[in-house]
Structure 1
């Protein structure tokens, strides 16, 4: 009996030792790979921003073009001032929205995009032309689709009204239906559309049966809930509760440093 117990003890000891070694290796790998993962995530976001802005081309040096053509700013969504003490390279909109210290919970009646909480600061990407003048802006947008949150970027011309491009870079919508929000043919239909009417209110709309004016885009066929979600997130983010005052300040050149 003692030999059996001794053998069992050795077996358990070996198993525990192996588990410990494996845990150390996994933890070490995670720590070692984190900088690379963060670098890849930053590169992917730069690519998404350039794509939305209509600048992305095959084979281009993405970081170099991004640094040359994009001026990233972190702006308060409370007083709409640039936050000079926050490095855009270290800022993450999604983390800010999930942190109680950097977000506010929305009332159900105002949360038409179904996002739950709204960040108190956001990253704004000013698109610069070859002469260093502002040539538009790219903004984060997100909202609830059929199966989860749709994350995207919308690019506006320098009038900050006309859509230059849109990029829904992360979603869980149904392939072939709601998943068509990434279809280049549908995305292209956004180009040249206007978000606001002459009265300054949001007029953009996804419609069934064919877009008929400068404020309309065709809804996705067979994906009513996804289309409704896209419609709602544009209505929310372009409203006075989100980017409306920010865009007004940008148009007037009144975006000031905090």
Structure 2
């Protein structure tokens, strides 16, 4: 075939496109198991970090199995759902279902002689989804730790929810008010309460009011689904509103 002809150029271009497509497809397929495993280990890291365990990804599963004592998928009544693996519940998909059909994962942990309850979170920021985990101490009220992440918040503004200095503000905050109402932890612009851990409030990120509101809503909206469970296992009086 004449290499200077239009037909040769056309056939060569098609051949290159096919070769590149097959190569990329093969690479993606080959790497898929590794990518899924990395995501699984990173999820374990995030859960562990809420109770103060920082670890490399390679060690995450060992520590997860050691300190996470139970993994339960709950229904909206706080009862365990048979046949549902808590770790495999995808909140992004669950949120598209009616509440009565959703699964609510919770992880029970033991670390340094203390018991904790860890719940996954998901909500909306300024531009896209935000998510994370919150760990509560044995009273099912006091925050042990949180971790947040996002898909598309603005760097230097809303994206700061991923920073240690912001997440540290939630430590020892309460999710119930003095009357037993579940209010979560409110991210408040211009907060002047200092280090008050009993007012259910933390200071917001400057210039990221909408993302902060998203965190507030995410905490209260997700945690209220665990009220029936906490009522069953703890001797606490709470009010649903």
TM bucket (normalised to shorter chain) is 0.7 to 0.9
For 1:235, the equivalent position in structure 2 comes to 220
For 2:234, the equivalent position in structure 1 comes to 251
> Offset of 1:20 from its aligned partner?
2.0
Label 1:38 to 1:90 Cα distance change in 2 as closer, same or farther (>3 A).
same
1:187 aligns with 2:172: no
Which of 38, 49, 52 aligns to 1:51? It is 49
Q: Matches of 1:205 and 1:17 in 2, distance apart? A: 58
Q: Matches of 1:56 and 1:74 in 2, distance apart? A: 23
| Matched residue SS, 2:106 | strand
Which of 103, 107, 110 aligns to 1:121? It is 103
> Offset of 1:8 from its aligned partner?
3.1
For 2:192, the equivalent position in structure 1 comes to 210
> Offset of 1:68 from its aligned partner?
0.6
For 1:138, the equivalent position in structure 2 comes to 118
What's the C-alpha RMSD, in Å, of the aligned pairs? 2.9
Q: Matches of 1:234 and 1:87 in 2, distance apart? A: 23
TM-score (norm 2): 0.82
Q: Matches of 2:191 and 2:106 in 1, distance apart? A: 34
Q: Matches of 1:179 and 1:167 in 2, distance apart? A: 13
For 2:37, the equivalent position in structure 1 comes to 39
Unaligned runs of 5+ in 1: 107-117, 253-258
Instruction: Name the stretch that deviates more: 186-195 or 8-17.
Output: 8-17
| Aligned partners of 1:48 and 1:169 also within 8 Å | no
Alignment of 1:1-258 (within 5 A): 7-57=5-55, 61-71=59-69, 73-97=71-95, 103-104=97-98, 120-129=102-111, 135-203=115-183, 204-207=185-188, 208-211=190-193, 213=196, 214=198, 215-239=200-224, 242-251=225-234
Unaligned runs of 5+ in 2: 236-241
Q: Matches of 1:195 and 1:206 in 2, distance apart? A: 12
TM-score (norm 1): 0.77
| Matched residue SS, 1:164 | strand
Deviations 1:148-170 (A, max 9, x none): 22111111111111001110033
Q: Matches of 1:90 and 1:228 in 2, distance apart? A: 28
Q: Matches of 2:128 and 2:205 in 1, distance apart? A: 17
